[in-house]
């Protein structure tokens, strides 16, 4: 019923339209609340005193006990894990964007056999879930001495995201007009310079799409981290949290919740900074092709 | 056109491909060899023929993992697409607070599934979780059961939590697709006397083709290789009942049955390949008609 307003159907009087419009607002607000509710509950939990049972008194009013945050921070060493996750994410994103954009440019603008084959391989490999090559990769990583190193994990995460990035960048570059590049070549730019000086700056919207689609996944990576980051000093955020939480077996929710809140904050901040560009990045060519 | 010298730019796909070849293609090919061995990750591997595959199909736990993985996908992939599309249709017009609502709906997708799992585990804990006390407060504690202790309901909870978390991601891709559809088409359909349903079936759906393809395929791949959310919600429990193939692969690899776990990974790959190839072929055919 509610969707019908989109069409502004014939013979629907204004009264009816208003009701439907209001109804749609109501539904959207309810969906948004449903999506945010668990965060609210996490925050309430994080602000309770250790002694308080969750269901005592009014469960929607916490004790505002802020000591949980420094306690959780110290005991879980989450700060160190966040630094690791941050370095891995930054390194992997840099690799994905630069290598992906270079490959996208070559595929979109130089249609030789090698580039076309590479593109086809990437397209096919997009269908292979990462977990499948993780076990044989483990053997390779041992020989490269890359297990329990940040650079090893960075390369693994970048590799898993590369096909999709090449796909997005290729689509985006194909949609760009050729005239700009031709003019630059006439002015004496080499093709390499054209890429670095003209194409790369134009890629901004698709870069933020690639960052949002992959960045959070890399920060939150658990499936590969479980294999390649077993050393306590090299734990990333999910690894550190999972080890830290296991020792409580669900007994101290206040401190667990506070630690989880600390781990979520940087992600939310980055998301709020990038989210404006996300839609533009997706609509401007990223999904064409 | 002036003749171009062979420039370095023709080889710009090489770095991306080199990284990919080392960390993905080489291990993948190597894995095909390893799956016929009894390699334990350390000692030399011995060729055992098809032994690993035969063992797999005689292992009750492995067969139940296949069932769980497939059931999860049958629930999660269609629901993610339907819910994502409904959200996108609701959001696809100008209204106040649109970007805030979009942000709220996308928000769960950026949080580590591991933390999400813990939040939901807290909500659903039997006898003392949030929902129990919520229903208790309403005077109907019997509405709440031990949902995580029973295979069917635990699987249902995992599916719903997964849909809740990632519907925002599908929504964003559908929204990008919807924004590419010209308003004039709906206007023309309306003048021809088409109802909303007709417009949806004959204008929206066909033009959403590329978005549907991306969403369906990524959701099938993601669902069949699901790892984190199951790990943190049930850890595969009760017993091994909700264990998925990805978790089985990891556990076998740790259990020094590395060769065997590679064989399982190859089986998972075949399980992914069939629906992905089929749906991609079907959708391409549909688009050509």
Given an 8 Å threshold on Cβ–Cβ distance, is A32 in contact with B104?
Answer: yes
Q: Which residue has the higher pLDDT, A156 or B97?
A: A156
SS3 A105: helix
Residue B174 domain-assigned (yes or no): yes
Give the pLDDT of residue A14: 78
Given an 8 Å threshold on Cβ–Cβ distance, is B269 in contact with A132?
Answer: yes
What gap in Å lies between CA A168 and CA A289, rounded to an integer?
A: 9
Q: Give the pLDDT band of residue B102 (cuts 50, 70, 90).
A: confident
Do A224 and A153 touch, CB atoms closer than 8 A? yes
- A110/chain B closest Cα distance in angstroms: 6
Q: Answer yes or no: is pLDDT of B24 > 60.
A: yes
What gap in Å lies between CA B164 and CA A31, rounded to an integer?
A: 10
Q: Give the pLDDT band of residue A3 (cuts 50, 70, 90).
A: very low
Q: Answer yes or no: is pLDDT of B230 > 90.
A: no
Q: Which residue has the higher pLDDT, A278 or B88?
A: B88
Give the pLDDT of residue B77: 93
What gap in Å lies between CA A188 and CA A194, rounded to an integer?
A: 10
Given an 8 Å threshold on Cβ–Cβ distance, is B224 in contact with A129?
Answer: yes
Q: Answer yes or no: is pLDDT of A2 > 60.
A: no
- Mean pLDDT taken over chain A: 81
What gap in Å lies between CA B163 and CA B174, rounded to an integer?
A: 15
User: Tell me, what DSSP letter sits at residue A236?
Assistant: -
Nearest Cβ partner for B112 among A107, A129, A237? A237
- B17 CB neighbours in chain A (<8 A) are 103, 118, 121
End-to-end C-alpha distance for chain A, whole angstroms: 34
Give the pLDDT of residue A94: 93
- B62/chain A closest Cα distance in angstroms: 16
- A260/chain B closest Cα distance in angstroms: 7
A203 contact partners, CB below 8 Å, separation of at least 6 = A101, A169, A172, A173
Give the pLDDT of residue A4: 47
- A205/chain B closest Cα distance in angstroms: 13
Domain count, chain B: 1
Residue B39 domain-assigned (yes or no): no
**E strands in chain A:** none
Q: Give the pLDDT band of residue A89 (cuts 50, 70, 90).
A: very high
Q: Answer yes or no: is pLDDT of A157 > 80.
A: yes
Nearest Cβ partner for B27 among A54, A136, A288? A136
Average pLDDT (A113-133) is 82
Average pLDDT (B207-229) is 84
Residue B32 domain-assigned (yes or no): no
Domains in chain A (CATH in brackets) are 2-67 (no CATH), 69-286 (1.10.3720.10)
Average pLDDT (A185-192) is 83
Give the pLDDT of residue B85: 93
Q: Answer yes or no: is pLDDT of B36 > 50.
A: yes
SS3 B37: strand
Give the DSSP H or E segment for A30: helix A14-46
Q: Answer yes or no: is pLDDT of A9 > 50.
A: no
Q: Which residue has the higher pLDDT, B224 or B32?
A: B224
Tokens linked to B174: 């559908």
Q: Answer yes or no: is pLDDT of A220 > 60.
A: yes
- Of A202, A143, A140, the closest CA to residue A172 belongs to A202
Given an 8 Å threshold on Cβ–Cβ distance, is B176 in contact with A287?
Answer: yes
Given an 8 Å threshold on Cβ–Cβ distance, is A106 in contact with B10?
Answer: yes
- Of B77, B71, B111, B66, the closest CA to residue B221 belongs to B77
- B83/chain A closest Cα distance in angstroms: 11
CATH number at residue B68: 1.10.3720.10
Query: CA Rg, chain B, in Å?
Result: 24
Give the pLDDT of residue B1: 41
Q: Answer yes or no: is pLDDT of B268 > 80.
A: yes
Maximum average pLDDT range among A74-88, A218-232, B63-77: B63-77
B54 contact partners, CB below 8 Å, separation of at least 6 = none
Chain A 238-257, residues with CB within 8 Å of chain B CB atoms: 238, 241-242, 245, 250, 253, 256-257
Give the pLDDT of residue A255: 82
Cis, bond preceding B238 (omega within 30 deg of 0): yes
Give the pLDDT of residue A288: 46
Q: Which residue has the higher pLDDT, A184 or B147?
A: A184
User: Tell me, what DSSP letter sits at residue A128?
Assistant: S
Hey, is the C-beta of B250 within 8 angstroms of any chain A C-beta? yes
Residue B269 domain-assigned (yes or no): yes
Give the pLDDT of residue A289: 38
The parent domain of residue B165 ranges over 51-288
Q: Answer yes or no: is pLDDT of A195 > 70.
A: yes
Hey, is the C-beta of A275 within 8 angstroms of any chain B C-beta? yes
Average pLDDT (A190-217) is 83
What gap in Å lies between CA B56 and CA A36, rounded to an integer?
A: 42
Q: Answer yes or no: is pLDDT of A205 > 60.
A: yes
Q: Answer yes or no: is pLDDT of B145 > 80.
A: no
Residue B27 domain-assigned (yes or no): no
| CA-based nearest residue in chain A for residue B127 | A55
What gap in Å lies between CA B255 and CA B247, rounded to an integer?
A: 12
């Amino acid at each position: 019923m509610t969707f019908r307003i989109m069409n502004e159907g014939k013979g629907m009087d204004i009264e009816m339209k208003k009701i439907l419009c209001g109804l749609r607002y109501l539904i959207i607000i309810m969906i948004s609340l449903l999506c945010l509710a668990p965060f609210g509950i996490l925050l309430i939990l994080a602000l309770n005193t250790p002694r308080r049972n969750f269901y005592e008194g009014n469960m929607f009013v916490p004790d505002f006990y802020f000591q949980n945050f420094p306690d959780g921070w110290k005991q879980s060493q989450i700060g160190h894990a966040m630094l690791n996750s941050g370095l891995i994410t930054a390194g992997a994103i840099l690799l994905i964007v630069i290598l992906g954009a270079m490959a996208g440019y070559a595929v979109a603008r130089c249609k030789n056999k090698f580039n076309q084959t590479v593109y086809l391989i990437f397209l096919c490999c997009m269908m292979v879930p990462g977990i499948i090559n993780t076990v044989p990769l483990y053997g390779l990583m041992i020989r490269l001495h890359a297990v329990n190193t940040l650079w090893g994990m960075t390369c693994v995460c970048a590799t898993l995201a590369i096909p999709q990035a090449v796909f997005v960048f290729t689509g985006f570059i194909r949609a760009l007009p050729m005239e700009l590049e031709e003019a630059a070549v006439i002015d004496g730019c080499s093709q390499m310079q054209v890429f670095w000086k003209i194409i790369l700056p134009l890629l901004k919207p698709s870069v933020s799409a690639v960052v949002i689609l992959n960045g959070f996944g890399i920060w939150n990576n658990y499936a590969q981290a479980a294999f390649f980051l077993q050393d306590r000093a090299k734990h990333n955020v999910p690894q550190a949290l999972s080890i830290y939480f296991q020792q409580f077996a669900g007994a101290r929710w206040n401190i667990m919740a506070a630690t989880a809140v600390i781990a979520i904050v940087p992600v939310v901040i980055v998301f709020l900074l990038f989210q404006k560009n996300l839609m533009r990045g997706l609509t401007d060519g990223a999904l064409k092709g | 056109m002036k003749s171009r010298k062979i420039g370095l730019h023709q080889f710009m796909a090489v770095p991306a491909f080199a990284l990919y070849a080392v960390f993905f293609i080489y291990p993948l090919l190597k894995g095909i060899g390893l799956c016929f061995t009894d390699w334990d990750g350390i000692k030399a591997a011995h060729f055992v023929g098809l032994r690993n595959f035969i063992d797999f199909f005689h292992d009750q736990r492995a067969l139940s993992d296949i069932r769980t993985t497939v059931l999860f996908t049958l629930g999660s992939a269609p629901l993610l697409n339907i819910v994502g599309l409904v959200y996108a249709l609701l959001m696809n017009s100008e209204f106040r607070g649109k970007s805030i609502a979009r942000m709220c709906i996308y928000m769960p997708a950026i949080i580590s599934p591991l933390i999400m799992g813990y939040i939901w585990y807290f909500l659903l804990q039997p006898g003392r979780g949030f929902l129990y006390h919520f229903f208790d407060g309403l005077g109907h504690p019997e509405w709440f059961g031990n949902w995580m202790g029973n295979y069917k309901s635990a699987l249902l909870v995992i599916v719903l939590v997964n849909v809740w978390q990632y519907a925002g991601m599908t929504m964003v891709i559908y929204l990008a697709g919807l924004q590419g559809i010209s308003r004039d088409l709906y206007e023309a359909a309306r003048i021809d006397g088409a109802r909303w349903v007709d417009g949806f079936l004959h204008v929206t759906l066909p033009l959403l083709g590329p978005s549907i393809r991306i969403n369906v395929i990524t959701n099938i791949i993601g669902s069949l290789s699901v790892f984190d959310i199951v790990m943190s919600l049930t850890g595969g429990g009760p017993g091994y009942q909700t264990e998925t193939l990805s978790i089985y692969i990891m556990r076998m690899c740790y259990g020094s049955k590395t060769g065997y776990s590679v064989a399982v990974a190859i089986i998972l790959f075949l399980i992914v390949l069939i629906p992905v190839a089929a749906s991609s072929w079907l959708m391409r055919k549909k688009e050509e008609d």
